[in-house]
Structure formats: structure tokens, C-alpha cells
Amino acid sequence: MTLGFLVVLSALSVSNFVSVARAHASAQVDVKGSFSVLGGSGNGRLLDSGTARLRLNVSVSNPSPRSLTFDTVIYKAWIEDGPREAGLNSSRSDVLVQDGTSSRWFFLAYSGSNTSSQASVPAQGTGTVPMVLDLRIAPDPFPFRGVQNITNFAVSRGIPQSGLAWSIFILTSLNIDGVPPPASNTAPLYLIAVVRIVLQFGVDYGR
């Protein structure tokens, strides 16, 4: 009887390990976004009193038998700098991105983190953290002025807001439900990593 009991415990332990490993191996993140100007001039121009709004839906697909919970979402969003590419505002602090044989300039418009999402990702399902990122002249005059210049330049060229190109970077961590954290804060990193999944979307250009 004792041997049989030990075999059952061993089997459960292996099953537990396999399900956690599957969660680490199979979870994937995807991001969808849209950009809009609020309080504009009516023709799409961003006024000093207006708001540049970027909406992001950060979705994690989870084919594993373990449910997950979002912990932190770190985000950065660059908008393509049309004026810079037209030979204007060449002193702006942009990143140069090689796109095949062409070079494109991107301006960092949004960066930050969401540490209170706590959205769930069911086993064999998908969970989403929706984020609304608003940029106003106060308290963010530098990124606001950059986005204002870029969007208003696009309007002058007949380019709609939906036609502006963005580069999005997301780094998100999720906790695996049912897996207890290490008993000590000084536990080895591999033990800490077991209970958490870190997923990346896009490229981080720094800054």
C-alpha cells in the first residue's frame, strides 16, 4: 500500500512539472493597437489642448492546462517620424531602423508599465489586458510636441491617423496559478523563474 501511495505521489509530481513546463513553452503574446487624436481641430491636427491616445490590447494565448495571471506589462511605442524622413527636425532624438534596404526614423512617444492588471488567462484560452495611453502637453511636453509635430505633418500630407506607422514593444510577466513562490527571497533564480512566464513582443530600441 505504501509503495502504491508513493507511486501516485510521484506521478502527480511529474504531471505537475509537465503542465508547468508546457505553460512556459506554449504561451504567446500578441498586441493590437489603434491611435487617435482627441480634442483636435476637426481636420485631425493635434492641438495644444488635445490628447494623443494610443490603445493597446495585450493578449496572451495559453494552450497549456495551467491558468495564468498577468502581473506586469512594460510598454514602449515609437511612431514613425515623417518630418525627420523628409529632412526636417533632424536633431530630434529618434531611433534609426533598417527596413530591408531602406532606413526609417522612429520617435519614442510612450513608455511605462502597468503593474496592476491582474487579468487572467484561462487554461487553453486567451486573456487580454486593454491599455489606454494618453499623451498630453502636461505633464509630458517633450513627447507630446514630438507626436504633435509628426501627426500634424501627416495631416498636411493627407495621411490619416490610421496610416501612421508604429513600432510597439511589450515585455509582460505572468504568474502560473497553483505554483507556490519560493519560500525565500534569496532563492536561486531558476526557482523564481519556475513560477513566472516572461513574454516579449516587438523590438526594444532602448531610450
**pLDDT tens-digit profile of 170-192?**
999 998 887 666 556 665 555 55
Alpha-carbon torsion angle 78, 81, 82, 83, nearest 10:
160
Asked if the model's pLDDT at residue 22 lies above 70, the reply is yes
Q: How many domains does the chain have?
A: 1
Instruction: Tell me what pLDDT residue 11 has.
Output: 41
> Which is more confidently placed, 21 or 128?
128
pLDDT mean across residues, the chain: 85
Which residue bears the cell 533632424? 90
Is 144 a member of any domain?
Answer: yes
Mean pLDDT of 125-145: 95
Name the percent of the chain lying above pLDDT 90: 58
Mean pLDDT of 91-101: 86
Is 71 a member of any domain?
Answer: yes
Is 47 a member of any domain?
Answer: yes
Using an 8 Å Cβ cutoff, are 96 and 108 in contact? no
Using an 8 Å Cβ cutoff, are 148 and 115 in contact? no
Is 207 a member of any domain?
Answer: no
Is 206 a member of any domain?
Answer: no
Structural domain including 24 reads: 2-201
Is 20 a member of any domain?
Answer: yes
Is 115 a member of any domain?
Answer: yes
Asked if the model's pLDDT at residue 34 lies above 90, the reply is yes
- What does 37-96 look like in DSSP terms, one character per residue? EES--SSS---TT-EEEEEEEEEEEE-SSS-EEEEEEEEEEEEE-HHHHTT--TTS-EEE
